[in-house]
């Protein structure tokens, strides 16, 4: 009888179902026990996704997602197709994630108020923080203010792309300012890298726009550069006015 290679059995461990997990570790039970503000990101994400997939329970799916993207900010930035590239995330789960992230952004914008009074750099950053956090490219905005420093409408997007004098032309900016009859404005743009340190071009463009504002009789009060909040940094934005890098009128 010929020698034959023995059959090898490949035994894959079966994923632990949520119902088989200790009660204190199940997402719903943990949520009820300690409250929404005290559970992990993975638990909150598991509650949104509701179900796992074959071979992976919903907690493991959530942990895989967070591990793949590294942070909630990166997860919020990811387009639907990129979310679906993660094993166990289909079109429905990808849509659920994007919907939850969009609701969070809308809630933040709503909490700022429809026409908030903006008198500090922090208030200006708060208006734009959630919009900027999920962007992967630079966007330049202007906050149009009335004589009482109340925001006139939504922040006005002036341009997209790396800030330079050809991209942000005074004509386009002050055309919108005149259209909205604003008395003053605060300039702002984001740095997708997360570092709000202004470039030499940021400073140059700011000085040009301040000069144009003086000619038009519209005050440029500040220019806010928005980055990302980090544990080792005190702030996620920089005010060119507070930093003293630019002299404002």
Of 183, 191, 172, the residue nearest 238 (C-alpha): 191
Q: For residues 116 and 127, what is the distance between their CA atoms, to the nearest angstrom?
A: 9
Of 206, 147, 142, the residue nearest 176 (C-alpha): 142
Mean pLDDT of 189-204: 94
pLDDT: which is higher, 162 or 132:
132
What are the chain's domains? Answer: 18-109 (1.10.150.20), 115-243 (3.40.140.10)
> Per-residue pLDDT tens for 143-164?
999 999 999 988 999 998 877 7
Q: Which residue has the tokens 């996620």?
A: 236
> Per-residue pLDDT tens for 206-221?
999 999 999 999 999 9
Distance of alpha carbon 77 from its chain centroid, rounded? Answer: 7
> Per-residue pLDDT tens for 168-181?
889 989 999 999 99
pLDDT value, residue 112? 55
Check pLDDT > 70 for residue 38.
Answer: yes
CA contacts within 13 A on the Cβ side of 57: 16
Q: Which residues of 181-203 are buried (b: 16+ CB within 10 A; e: fewer)?
A: ebbbbbbbbbbbeeebebeeebe
SS (H, E, C) 25-81: HCHHHHHHHHCHHHCCHHHHHHHHHCCCECCECHHHHHHHHHHHHCCHHHHHHCCHH
């Amino acid at each position: 009888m010929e020698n034959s290679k023995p059959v090898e059995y490949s035994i894959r461990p079966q994923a632990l179902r949520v119902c088989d997990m200790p009660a204190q570790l199940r997402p719903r039970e943990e949520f009820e026990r300690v409250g929404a503000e005290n559970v992990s990101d993975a638990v909150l994400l598991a509650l949104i996704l509701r179900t796992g997939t074959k071979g992976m329970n919903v907690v493991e799916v959530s942990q895989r997602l967070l591990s793949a993207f590294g942070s909630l900010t990166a997860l919020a930035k990811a387009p639907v197709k990129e979310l679906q590239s993660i094993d166990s995330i289909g079109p429905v789960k990808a849509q659920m994630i994007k919907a939850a992230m969009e609701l969070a952004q809308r809630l933040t914008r709503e909490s700022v108020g429809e026409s908030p009074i903006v008198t500090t750099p922090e208030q200006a950053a708060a208006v734009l923080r959630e919009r900027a956090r999920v962007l992967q490219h630079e966007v330049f905005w202007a906050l149009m203010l009335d004589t009482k420093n109340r925001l006139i409408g939504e922040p006005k997007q002036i341009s997209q792309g790396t800030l330079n004098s050809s991209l942000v032309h005074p004509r386009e900016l002050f055309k919108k300012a005149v259209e909205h009859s604003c008395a003053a404005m605060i300039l702002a743009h984001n740095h997708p890298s997360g570092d709000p340190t202004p470039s030499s071009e940021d400073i140059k463009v700011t000085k040009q726009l301040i000069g144009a504002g003086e000619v038009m009789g519209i005050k440029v009060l500040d220019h806010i550069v928005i980055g990302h909040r980090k544990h080792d940094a005190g702030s996620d934005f920089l005010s060119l006015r507070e930093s003293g890098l630019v002299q404002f009128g």
